[in-house]
Amino acid sequence: MKKEAIILVGGRGTRLQGVVSDRPKPMALVGGRPFLTYILDRLADLDFERVVLATGYMHACIEEYFGSQYAGIEIRYSREEEPLGTGGAILQALRLCESDEVFAFNGDTAFDVDYDTMREALHRQDAVLCLALRKVPQLSRYGRVCVAEDGRVLSFEEKGAASGEGLINGGVYLLRKSWFEQLPLPQKFSFEKDLMEVRVGQDPFASVAFDCFFIDIGVPEDYAKAQTLVPLSRAKYLFLDRDGVINRHIQGYVTRWGEFEFLPGVCQAIARLSQRFDRLFVVTNQQGIGKGLFTLDDLQQVHRRMLAEIAQAGGRIDKIYVCTDLKTSGSPNRKPAPGMARQAQQDYPEVRMEASVMVGDMRSDLQFARNAGMTAVWTTDEVSPQEAAEAREFIEKDPTGVLVCRNLAEFAGLCGC
């Protein structure tokens, strides 16, 4: 059975028109890339074989960008000539699917559910539909989904009918095509209102609650948050500056182990990040060697002790890249030039810059991230006023967004680890 999904990408996105007016909402740029690419990248990583894009508004923008395949996924198009509603769009798109079990969700939402768990729930409960649910601390803004202990959906409550903690519809569905197509449905209808809420007591609906990354870019405030949170959620490779991120800045250069001091919580943070990222690298400018103030052997002794402390805490660094060239040399390997990132790609061919994050405390680190095509993260705890002003000037001019946090421990928390 093919792993297939339908993604609804045909809406106008009127609430986002003031910010994104030249393209359909799923093609809105996030971190310099269309938002839809992040969704498809994840499906590719999970071995989905076919995706049907249910297009409508500005369909040519989507069709011309993706063509017939993306990242190994076969792409098909189900174009609405007139708005069909979410249900009508899914019904039409199902005709291009071969499997009886098909996922469906919106192209303006990233909800990193476990698709295999949803499939298991569908089978375990012999259901015709499985919903991905989210737990929220306050239900007043949402409609509640009421479920039994085994996950069976009992009913849907209107928005504002309940308050306090509860479960809401996350907008990701696994449905049986044979059930869906045999229903007496009109051409245009709402999947949520006209189908789920009507048939919840007649047909068996399963559900799984997830507490994982979720964002909807449908309003300007969330679209702004997405600029850094979405690339971060998809990142697999982590690059770290050393001085000011891993260890404290000192006057001059760290030339021996006695001058090296870990920042609070760093070893524990790296241990957590080692579970989250496939590869971790350190990239550090060390022109003190180029100036003759200490030797490469001195530096390597410091790094051996540093790596031992990190390993003792349960973390790892896959490789440390060092540039000893002077600032005035114009070296392609000295940050902000991306040379050390290119070295990592040569050593680890699986590393992709668009799936990488750079954490640093200096403007040159942020520029390095941009020059290499990474997501940039700025840590502020060890930054002098002048360095902070330089970094903020860069951030204000950067169109793709920089994530700001106090230190590496806070960054690890933002990564969900």
**pLDDT at res. 223:** 86
Q: Model confidence over 297-311: pLDDT tens digits?
A: 999 999 999 999 999
**pLDDT at res. 218:** 84
User: Are 214 and 253 part of one and the same domain?
Assistant: no
Last residue of a domain, one of 172, 203, 226: 226
Looking at the structure of the chain, the number of domains it has is 2
**pLDDT at res. 160:** 64
User: Are 19 and 165 part of one and the same domain?
Assistant: yes
Mean pLDDT of 147-165: 85
**pLDDT at res. 359:** 98
Is pLDDT at 15 greater than 70 in this prediction?
A: no
Q: Model confidence over 299-346: pLDDT tens digits?
A: 999 999 999 999 999 999 999 999 999 999 999 999 999 999 999 999
**pLDDT at res. 67:** 96
Mean pLDDT of 386-399: 90
**pLDDT at res. 353:** 95
User: Are 261 and 398 part of one and the same domain?
Assistant: yes
* 261 within 8 A of 247, measured Cβ to Cβ: yes
User: Are 401 and 301 part of one and the same domain?
Assistant: yes
User: Are 214 and 276 part of one and the same domain?
Assistant: no
Confidence of residue 17 (pLDDT cuts 50, 70, 90): low
* 417 within 8 A of 404, measured Cβ to Cβ: no
Confidence of residue 1 (pLDDT cuts 50, 70, 90): confident
* 190 within 8 A of 86, measured Cβ to Cβ: yes
Is pLDDT at 362 greater than 80 in this prediction?
A: yes
Confidence of residue 31 (pLDDT cuts 50, 70, 90): confident
Specify the higher pLDDT residue, 21 or 213: 213
Mean pLDDT of 368-375: 95
Confidence of residue 139 (pLDDT cuts 50, 70, 90): confident
The token duo for 412 is: 């690890």
Cis peptide bond prior to 186, omega within 30° of 0: no
User: Are 32 and 149 part of one and the same domain?
Assistant: yes
Rg for the chain, CA atoms, rounded = 25
- Using CB atoms within 10 A of its CB, is residue 387 exposed (0-12), middle (13-18) or buried (19+)? middle
Percent share of the chain, pLDDT over 70: 97
Last residue of a domain, one of 190, 208, 226: 226
Query: Any idea what the Cα angle at residue 315 is, between residues 311 and 317, rounded to 5°?
Result: 85
**pLDDT at res. 18:** 59
Last residue of a domain, one of 198, 226, 254: 226
Find where tokens 């690339």 sit. Answer: 231
User: Are 23 and 104 part of one and the same domain?
Assistant: yes
CATH number, domain containing residue 197: 3.90.550.10
* 266 CB-side CA count, 13 A: 23
CATH number, domain containing residue 277: 3.40.50.1000
User: Are 245 and 112 part of one and the same domain?
Assistant: no
**Catalytic site includes residue 243:** yes
Averaged confidence pLDDT in the chain: 93
Q: For the sheet containing 166-176, what is the strand order?
A: 69-70, 73-79, 50-55, 4-8, 101-106, 166-176, 129-136, 205-210
User: Are 239 and 182 part of one and the same domain?
Assistant: no
Least confident of 162-171, 205-214, 352-361: 162-171
**pLDDT at res. 382:** 93
Catalytic hit among 41, 241, 298, 365: 241
Find where tokens 């070296």 sit. Answer: 331
User: Are 261 and 334 part of one and the same domain?
Assistant: yes
Is pLDDT at 161 greater than 70 in this prediction?
A: no
d(CA 224, CA 234): 17
User: Are 295 and 160 part of one and the same domain?
Assistant: no
**pLDDT at res. 13:** 63
User: Are 289 and 351 part of one and the same domain?
Assistant: yes
Q: Model confidence over 253-281: pLDDT tens digits?
A: 999 999 999 999 999 999 999 999 999 99
Least confident of 14-28, 34-48, 77-91, 267-281: 14-28
Tell me which residue range forms the domain holding 339.
235-414
Catalytic hit among 41, 108, 243, 365: 243
**Catalytic site includes residue 203:** no
